[in-house]
Structure 1
Amino acid sequence: MELRHIRYFLEVAREGNFTRAAARIGIGQPPLSQQIRDLETEIGTQLFHRVPHGAELTEAGTAFRDIVQHFPELAERAIRAARRAGRGEIGSIRVGFTASAAFSPSVPRVFRDFRRSYPGIEMTLEENNSARLLNALMDEQLDAVFLRQGAANSDAIKLHRLKSEPMLIVLPAGHPAAQSETVALETLRDDALILTPRQVGPTHFDIVVAACRAAGFEPVMGQSAPQLGSVINFVAAELGFSLVPAAMAQLQVNGVVYRKVAGDVPMAHLALAYRSNDISTVLRNFVSRTLNAHRAEDQESDISN
């Protein structure tokens, strides 16, 4: 039994006449009659009484109609759903991001634009540190993550660099160096350096420590902070200084100032990571939207500069 048999049957049932039903369907009356006979043979019972003025449903035909009358509509809905799914317009995606990535203007913009473009996609967001995000990505608990480039080092992970931004020095407001707009790192050699543990955010940790060593000193490691936001709060408590991506300057905390780095400025690189073997259309659309958004942002930045 094919869907066309159901359509033909329903059309004859509605019209009560083979000739009119054939005209509406767009085929000849003899082929339509043969299709109905084939259907009756397959079912094993007569569906229509052939009467002089047309055709009337038998009891079996009425019972059959009551069940199959919604089949064509359901088939159309199934086809539309399949096509939407094939285009990545329905489904779900789980996206993770680090605390510093959340402060990058492009990340919330990507979330907003994707939700507007694909309202049928259920998007779940999770903030966490780089190590936990990567574990969740590998365990297929997340589909894509925004993090600092360098955190992922595996052939199983595909990484796209999105944006580079300078690091800023975060100082207690009362620190003598806070009076300057630009601060040389070497002047902070005797101050404690506040960072998250390396196992939590290896890329950020390595960039900051490397910048201190490039400035000619081994940093004095101070209080370890559980997350980047805590780093800034610890600086406000005058426990030391730190370096953070420039976007973090949006986090205004009483008692801290953000200052530019004199000389060679360390850079933070934002990236989008996802599993190399993930072929989901929803993910492909998300990646494409993200890359296009960042290319557009770079063009706007070039024009403004």
Structure 2
Amino acid sequence: NAQRAGRGEIGHIELGYVASAVYSGLLQRQVQSFCADCPDVSLSVRESPMAALPGLVAEGRFDIGYIRSPMTLPDGVEAVRLSSEGFVLALPQDSWLLGLKAISCEHLQNETFILPEQISGTLHVAAQGGYAPRLGPQPGGLVAVIALVSLGQGVAVVPESVVGHVSLPNVVYRSIEGSEASSWLSLIYRRFEKAPAVARYIEQVKQVARLKV
């Protein structure tokens, strides 16, 4: 058993994630692949607020985490860049914007933006349109963000993987013409990870990332 533990074949991993890692299917693929290779490693998998997740990894409350980058990480925490995706606009179904043939960044100047945890898409769209965005509430996870859109509180710039996965009444998704804003999922981990099972998981994800480059 000591040899197996040393190879990372037995052990325990605390894994935290943000919801969009699940919408994209990435978390499921990587966890299932690891569990198939190492069936005797137990995984505890829990959703976490994105702002807190890097700190929880640094403190050892989670061993690894899936976040949406770009994001500033604490000292000693590193990231493997995984799949990249663009953003879409979530609109209330009575929005005047739906009368337009194409919605561009400039059209959103007077809209109130409901903020997801990863605000880079919102800021990028406003910068491309040449204005300071009117910022509304930041209610938490993506379902909470899209719920406020469905209540008519504003619009939201959200990862395109929510389309087809988060379907709420009164919400319509549209592409944003000319916007090149993108974000990507990252696996974060402690730089000097000593637990063999955790190190094995990280290495497996890195190998997949290398194959895709």
Q: Given the two structures, how large is their TM-score scaled by the length of structure 1?
A: 0.65
Tell me the residue number matched to 1:205. Answer: 119
The CA distance in 2 between the partners of 1:119 and 1:145, in whole Å, is 20
The CA distance in 2 between the partners of 1:171 and 1:267, in whole Å, is 19
Tell me the secondary structure at the aligned position of residue 170 of structure 1.
strand
Tell me the residue number matched to 1:279. Answer: 194
Q: 2:140 aligned with 1:220, yes or no?
A: no
Tell me the secondary structure at the aligned position of residue 163 of structure 1.
strand
Measured against aligned partners, the alpha-carbon deviations of 1:182-208 in whole angstroms (never above 9, x if no partner) come to 421211211111014xxxx3xx22331
The 1:251–1:158 alpha-carbon spacing in structure 2 relative to 1, beyond 3 Å, is: same
Tell me the residue number matched to 2:148. Answer: 234
The CA distance in 1 between the partners of 2:199 and 2:189, in whole Å, is 10
Q: 2:180 aligned with 1:260, yes or no?
A: no
- Structure 1: runs of 5+ lacking an equivalent: 1-80, 300-305
Measured against aligned partners, the alpha-carbon deviations of 1:94-124 in whole angstroms (never above 9, x if no partner) come to 1111122221211111111211221100100
* Structure 1 residue 179, shift from structure 2 partner: 4.7
Give 2:18's match in structure 1, choosing from 98, 101, 108: 98
Higher relative contact order (CA closer than 8 Å, sequence separation 6+) = 2
Query: In the alignment, is the contact (CA less than 8 A) between 2:80 and 2:188 conserved in 1?
Result: yes
The CA distance in 1 between the partners of 2:194 and 2:152, in whole Å, is 48
* Structure 1 residue 295, shift from structure 2 partner: 5.2
Give 2:66's match in structure 1, choosing from 146, 159, 171: 146
Q: Structure 1 or 2: larger helix share?
A: 1
Q: 2:38 aligned with 1:118, yes or no?
A: yes
The CA distance in 2 between the partners of 1:115 and 1:234, in whole Å, is 37
* Structure 1 residue 247, shift from structure 2 partner: 1.0
- Structure 2: runs of 5+ lacking an equivalent: none
Q: How many residues align?
A: 212
The CA distance in 2 between the partners of 1:132 and 1:189, in whole Å, is 31
The amino acid that maps onto 2:71 is: A
* Structure 1 residue 263, shift from structure 2 partner: 0.8
Tell me the residue number matched to 2:89. Answer: 169
The amino acid that maps onto 2:136 is: G
RMSD between superposed Cα atoms in Å: 1.9
The amino acid that maps onto 1:215 is: G
The CA distance in 2 between the partners of 1:100 and 1:129, in whole Å, is 11
Q: 2:185 aligned with 1:270, yes or no?
A: yes
For residues 127-138 of structure 1, the aligned pairs below 5 Å read 127-138=47-58
Q: 2:162 aligned with 1:248, yes or no?
A: yes
Tell me the residue number matched to 1:158. Answer: 78
The amino acid that maps onto 1:206 is: S
Tell me the secondary structure at the aligned position of residue 243 of structure 1.
strand
The 1:240–1:92 alpha-carbon spacing in structure 2 relative to 1, beyond 3 Å, is: same
The CA distance in 2 between the partners of 1:247 and 1:294, in whole Å, is 19
Q: 2:5 aligned with 1:85, yes or no?
A: yes
The amino acid that maps onto 1:194 is: I
* Structure 1 residue 178, shift from structure 2 partner: 2.6
Query: In the alignment, is the contact (CA less than 8 A) between 1:181 and 1:260 conserved in 2?
Result: no
The CA distance in 2 between the partners of 1:187 and 1:274, in whole Å, is 40
* Structure 1 residue 146, shift from structure 2 partner: 0.5
Q: Given the two structures, how large is their TM-score scaled by the length of structure 2?
A: 0.91
Tell me the secondary structure at the aligned position of residue 183 of structure 1.
coil
Identity within the alignment, %: 25
The CA distance in 1 between the partners of 2:67 and 2:42, in whole Å, is 22
